[in-house]
Chains A and B, each alone.
Chain A
């Protein structure tokens, strides 16, 4: 699977794409593959503030419900409303159109603590 070079990743298989102080967050192709067919995504409300490590969303597949943890701290500015009905984009394009939330980061330096694409690829090879 391809991992965009400019994304950062967590050990819990979330990805982050940064544009200024706005971070777009989703789950990786690896996570989506492991979950199988997504049937429901519990989304947070716009305006909610999260600390790094908080559960901000729950992705449910036929098989399991999986918590998604905030890779960085911030306030939700946008949610992917497509996920309220077209869950399948989570499987079809998890690292693109299947993004979950956008947040305004409170501490942009937190990004530096996350894995690069290369580091995440190495990490995946250890968990598989």
Chain B
């Protein structure tokens, strides 16, 4: 038998007719009804994802801030409590260990949310880097995370809590009760849509899931699987570790310069990135659309004439936009908007051009 783990919501997925697949060491639903239907629910009403497989690692103590500062590329000193920030966590050679969300719980307590597939190596890396008076603790197995995403997500989550969600701005969070359960209510997500991520004790998994389902019923809330999580994040231009970022690429190459705060005294990878900046980048992560009809996918090579100039890292037929889109690393000189190249699909060349990311975005209110 497999030794795949279950989240606290496995029974709920079975009950909802989830199509279960192995993912990052877990058995999780790739879809319930259909990827398309769930994708559209998130864009038009709301979708609810079990993302309990994500890892949560806590840093606490007098030297917690300095530890997190050394690990990540963002300047956490400037992140006040109750705020979260998206950041790279790099090796000293400047490539990604992982991409993480850093939550500042208090002056000297932080929660780092990491990719499930990377949890073991991330935790090992963090402990290897640990110094001073700081505790580093992996609480992933005890924490359930549910993401409610979509234009109706506020109406739904608001029914479960007396926290005024109108006051909760993008990338802010509060520690507050939902249906009487201690939780972190965070205005974040991986879909490009207005949404929330809720973190709470695993023992309350089904209780919260069911309460959300009930509250969401009149708003068209649907449980949503990993399948549409990927198509949604790609439309939103959000990178996926293992596809678009990895231990072979730096945040500068990935176009994530905004997450790198060079003014910080020191952080892992800083020197390597400074050198790369001086030398100039050899390749760039770009967004593209296919002009010819087809579906670009991870690993397809990219050509300019007969010259191989890059590789597709993510691709899909965009459900919202109705056109094939993707991300790719391409050689320096081909990254300008409007630049055309060919994506090789089954030994045939399909015309593509560089377009801005995100491919899809909502106007943010508050």
Contacts and interface: CB of A to CB of B under 8 A. Distances in A.
Interface residue range, chain A: 10 to 19
Interface of A: 36-37, 39-40, 42, 58, 60, 62-63, 65, 84, 91
A36 to B, nearest CB: 6
A63 B30 contact: yes
A63 B316 CA distance: 9
Contacts of B319: 39, 62
Contact of B31 (A36, A60, A65, A84): A36
A42 B317 CA distance: 13
Contacts, number: 35
Interface residues of B, number: 16
B80 interface: no
B346 interface: yes
A37 B31 CA distance: 11
Interface of B: 30-31, 34-36, 227, 231, 293-295, 297, 316-317, 319, 324, 346
A58 B297 CA distance: 14
B346 A62 contact: no
A102 B35 CA distance: 30
Given A39-B295, A40-B293, A60 B35 contact: no
B227 A65 contact: no
A74 to B, nearest CB: 22
Top 3 closest A-B pairs, CB basis? A39-B317, A37-B36, A60-B295
A64 to B, nearest CB: 9
Contacts of A62: 35-36, 227, 231, 316-317, 319
Contacts of B317: 39-40, 60, 62
A36 B294 contact: no
Nearest to A39: B317
Contact of B227 (A36, A58, A91): A36
A37 B319 CA distance: 10
